[in-house]
Chains A and B, each alone.
Chain A
Amino acid sequence: MKPTQALAKRVTRLALNTKNTNKGYYKGTGTGSTGWHTKHGGYIIDWEKVRTYVVPEGLSNCKLSPFVTKKIRPQKGRFEGDPKGAFSGERYLEKWKEENGED
């Protein structure tokens, strides 16, 4: 469902909330759709659409921090000068051959 766009605009003085106006004005909260409405007023959840969060297994033992010490200066990338750069398939294939190619 999409909210009534004209009424949701902040340009107008009507910066409407979900609680404002009569029935007929719908405004979501950005959480996303998880199913569909039935014609009788109910709602059916589509479990394919429902979001699940996968917790990484080694999270409690993870020693990585969001920060890196400032003593280590940022270095030039390995793809410097490469026109395709990090999206290069040739470089990917090279690396793949080195690491995984031979069984």
Chain B
Amino acid sequence: MISFSTMSTSTMVRPVVWRMLRASQFQNAPPTFLLPSLLNTSLQSSPFSSTSNNPYPRDMNRERGVSTQRRTGLRQPVSVSKTPLPKPVLDSKKRSKVDVDPDHGLWQFFHSKEKPMNTPEEDHAHGRAWTVEELRQKSWEDLHSLWWVCCKERNRISTESYERQRLDAGYGDAEARGRDAQVRVTMRGIKQTLTERYYSWQDAQQVAKTDAEVDLSGEGPAYTPMDYVEEGNVLEEESQFRAEVALSPEAKPEAKSVHNA
């Protein structure tokens, strides 16, 4: 049986009763039907709800009702219960500054240290990609370095695109994609140059077998240039030589054959 009182404290006498008591001084006697309320009957006080704070619920599950998601807290205190927990600082302006090494390698993932990403204008301000003709002139070391430079630039563009999406920063993705496309064209050109070099090298090995000047067997020099004179120019050069000799007898006789380097 649940008994409850409308007032939480049981000792206080109701004001209505108090007025009645005072009124009774004049009227001599209170009405009899109010007598039970005049007596200080002990009122049972019990909490509104009937659930008890029992550490061991009926199924002996000590974790029952304990949730991290709903932040209920523990059922029983633990040793760190009195320790004040650090609270997160929600206002970003009030957070303490973290010391960052200005030469940290991870800075290379961004175009600038001051802002999280390039503006669309800065992203758009790039040149054209390398042509394969320009790349053919470059040495292996240069191409190797250029490839890595391209990779790093693509990483930078990709990081900033991700950041732009995360922060919902706005426009700029189209310019970033255009920049990335140009870098990829350069990388494609590098690959093409190296492929061309390899295939032409293979072909050259075949051609060298039929070339008299080249000996790739390993015995002797690989290249022995043979001095030769092209048939069409023989008479021309002979007559020139004679003319020179006639003009300047002191001049040393030069070699007839033209060294074709």
Q: Indicate if the CB atoms of B200 and A66 lie closer than 8 Å.
A: no
Q: Which of A84, A86, A96, A97 has the most CB of B within 10 A?
A: A86
Q: Which of B134, B208, B213, B214 contacts A68 (CB 8 A)?
A: B134
Complex interface bits, B42-85 against A, C-beta within 8 A gives 1, otherwise 0: 00000000000000000000000000000000000000000000
Q: Which of A59, A69, A70, A102 contacts B225 (CB 8 A)?
A: A102
Q: Which of A64, A74, A102 has the most CB of B within 10 A?
A: A64
| In the assembled complex, B145 has its CB within 8 A of some CB on chain A | yes
Chain A: minimal CB distance from B97 (Å): 29
Chain A: minimal CB distance from B130 (Å): 6
The residues of A that contact B182 with a CB separation of less than 8 Å are 66-67
Q: Which of A66, A84, A93 contacts B211 (CB 8 A)?
A: A93
Complex interface bits, B190-219 against A, C-beta within 8 A gives 1, otherwise 0: 000000110111111111100101100000
Q: Indicate if the CB atoms of B141 and A58 lie closer than 8 Å.
A: yes
| Complexed CA–CA distance, A93 and B141 (Å) | 21
A-B contact count (CB 8 A): 109
Q: Indicate if the CB atoms of B200 and A103 lie closer than 8 Å.
A: no
Q: Indicate if the CB atoms of A89 and B225 lie closer than 8 Å.
A: no
A46-103 contacts to B (CB < 8 Å): 54-59, 62, 64-70, 74-78, 84, 86-93, 96-98, 100-103
| In the assembled complex, B144 has its CB within 8 A of some CB on chain A | yes
Knowing A70-B127, A102-B223, say if A64 contacts B149 (CB, 8 Å): yes
Knowing A56-B144, A78-B133, A86-B136, say if A65 contacts B196 (CB, 8 Å): no
Main secondary structure of the interface of A (DSSP, over half): loop
Q: Indicate if the CB atoms of A92 and B186 lie closer than 8 Å.
A: no
Report the count of interface residues on B (CB-CB < 8 A).
Answer: 42
| Complexed CA–CA distance, A102 and B224 (Å) | 8
| Complexed CA–CA distance, A52 and B193 (Å) | 23
| Complexed CA–CA distance, A101 and B213 (Å) | 10
The residues of A that contact B205 with a CB separation of less than 8 Å are 89
| In the assembled complex, B142 has its CB within 8 A of some CB on chain A | yes
Chain A: minimal CB distance from B183 (Å): 5
Among residues of A, the one whose C-beta sits closest to the C-beta of B187 is A66
Q: Indicate if the CB atoms of B223 and A66 lie closer than 8 Å.
A: no
Q: Indicate if the CB atoms of A92 and B127 lie closer than 8 Å.
A: no
The residues of A that contact B186 with a CB separation of less than 8 Å are 66-67
Q: Indicate if the CB atoms of A67 and B261 lie closer than 8 Å.
A: no
Q: Indicate if the CB atoms of B141 and A101 lie closer than 8 Å.
A: no
| In the assembled complex, B129 has its CB within 8 A of some CB on chain A | yes
The residues of B that contact A86 with a CB separation of less than 8 Å are 132, 136, 196, 200
Q: Indicate if the CB atoms of B129 and A87 lie closer than 8 Å.
A: no
Chain B: minimal CB distance from A74 (Å): 5
The residues of A that contact B208 with a CB separation of less than 8 Å are 89, 93
The residues of B that contact A59 with a CB separation of less than 8 Å are 145, 148-149
| Complexed CA–CA distance, A56 and B149 (Å) | 10
